């Protein structure tokens, strides 16, 4: 988890990086909009600091394109006279903005506030997908309104699929997030547990995506 700084002024970018690193954040830098967009789509950053006026792709356009794919929190950095652009920035999905010049304490406070807000939103306790319902803190799973008793591993595996709401979850991601394996593990343990789930919840729409992973249909 890291913060991406998209800022074309090298001195400013390096200063931000220095301060953020000092505050305990890992940082990545992009010096134009094109590179910024590429990096923000390829990596899951905790947050993006996005300058408005950038070469190649400006901050507004970057944010608009990013939001078509991802919800990474964005704080837009604008010059004082770019009030209209500030409005545009919020319209294309930036979460907050800060006018330059700003005090570093102010930026850090905004970052902390935004991350806190996002973390609270992420603490969703109940997930529903089709006829599957999961209550995470009580570790209860329901299928077709009947409670099903699942083992810890079965529960975690199903919760991962439900949280992804129909998107394919790769076998490696499943191994990583449910079993905590990293790298390539050649084991069919995922397959075995998918079979357990299919047996316990007859008709559950877990689809096998050959060569990739699994998803809920
Ligand atoms: Ca700039």
What pLDDT, in 10s, does the model give residues 157-179? 999 999 998 899 999 889 888 88
Q: Tell me which architecture the domain covering 124-216 has in CATH.
A: Orthogonal Bundle (1.10)
Report the 10 Å Cβ neighbour count for 177: 15
Q: What residue segments make up the domains of the chain, in order of their start?
A: 2-118, 124-216
Find the 55 Cα to ligand 1 centroid distance in Å: 8
Locate 123 and state its tokens: 């603490």
Find the 70 Cα to ligand 1 centroid distance in Å: 23
Find the 118 Cα to ligand 1 centroid distance in Å: 26
Find the 95 Cα to ligand 1 centroid distance in Å: 19
Residue 188 confidence (pLDDT): 82
Residue 182 confidence (pLDDT): 65
Find the 82 Cα to ligand 1 centroid distance in Å: 12
Give dist(CA 10, CA 32) in Å, integer: 10
Give 53's contacts (C-beta < 8 A, 6+ positions apart).
8, 59, 79, 82
Question: Is the CATH number 3.40.50.2300 carried by domain 2-118?
Answer: yes
Find the 51 Cα to ligand 1 centroid distance in Å: 6
Q: What is the pLDDT of residues 38-54, one digit of tens each?
A: 999 999 999 999 999 99
Find the 78 Cα to ligand 1 centroid distance in Å: 8
Residue 200 confidence (pLDDT): 94
Find the 119 Cα to ligand 1 centroid distance in Å: 29
Per-position pLDDT tens, the chain of length 217: 699 999 999 999 999 999 999 999 999 999 999 999 999 999 999 999 999 999 999 999 999 999 988 889 999 998 766 666 666 767 778 888 888 889 999 999 999 988 888 877 666 788 899 999 999 888 899 999 999 999 888 999 999 999 998 899 999 889 888 888 765 566 688 999 999 999 999 999 999 999 899 999 9
Residue 105 confidence (pLDDT): 93
Find the 191 Cα to ligand 1 centroid distance in Å: 50
> Model-level pTM?
0.59
Find the 14 Cα to ligand 1 centroid distance in Å: 13
Q: To 10 degrees, what angle do helices 189-200 and 152-163 make?
A: 90
Find the 1 Cα to ligand 1 centroid distance in Å: 25
**Cis peptide bond prior to 101, omega within 30° of 0:** yes
Find the 31 Cα to ligand 1 centroid distance in Å: 9
Residue 7 confidence (pLDDT): 97
């Amino acid at each position: 988890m890291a913060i991406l700084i998209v800022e074309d002024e090298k001195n400013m970018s390096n200063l931000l990086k220095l301060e953020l690193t000092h505050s305990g954040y890992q940082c990545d830098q992009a010096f134009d909009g094109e590179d910024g967009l590429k990096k923000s789509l390829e990596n899951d950053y905790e947050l993006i600091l996005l300058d408005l006026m950038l070469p190649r792709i400006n901050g507004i356009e970057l944010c608009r394109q990013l939001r078509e794919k991802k919800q990474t929190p964005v704080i837009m950095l604008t010059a004082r006279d770019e009030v209209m652009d500030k409005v545009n920035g919020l319209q294309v999905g930036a979460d907050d903005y800060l006018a330059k010049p700003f005090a570093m304490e102010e930026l850090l406070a905004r970052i902390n506030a935004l991350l806190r807000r996002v973390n609270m939103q992420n603490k969703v306790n109940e997930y529903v997908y089709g006829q599957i319902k999961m209550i995470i803190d009580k570790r209860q799973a329901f299928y077709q309104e009947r409670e099903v008793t699942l083992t810890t591993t079965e529960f975690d595996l199903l919760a991962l699929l439900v949280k992804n709401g129909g998107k394919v979850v790769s076998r490696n991601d499943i191994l990583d997030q449910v079993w905590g394996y990293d790298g390539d593990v050649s084991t069919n343990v995922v397959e075995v547990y998918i079979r357990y789930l299919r047996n316990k919840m007859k008709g559950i729409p877990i689809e096998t995506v050959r060569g990739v992973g699994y998803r809920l249909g």
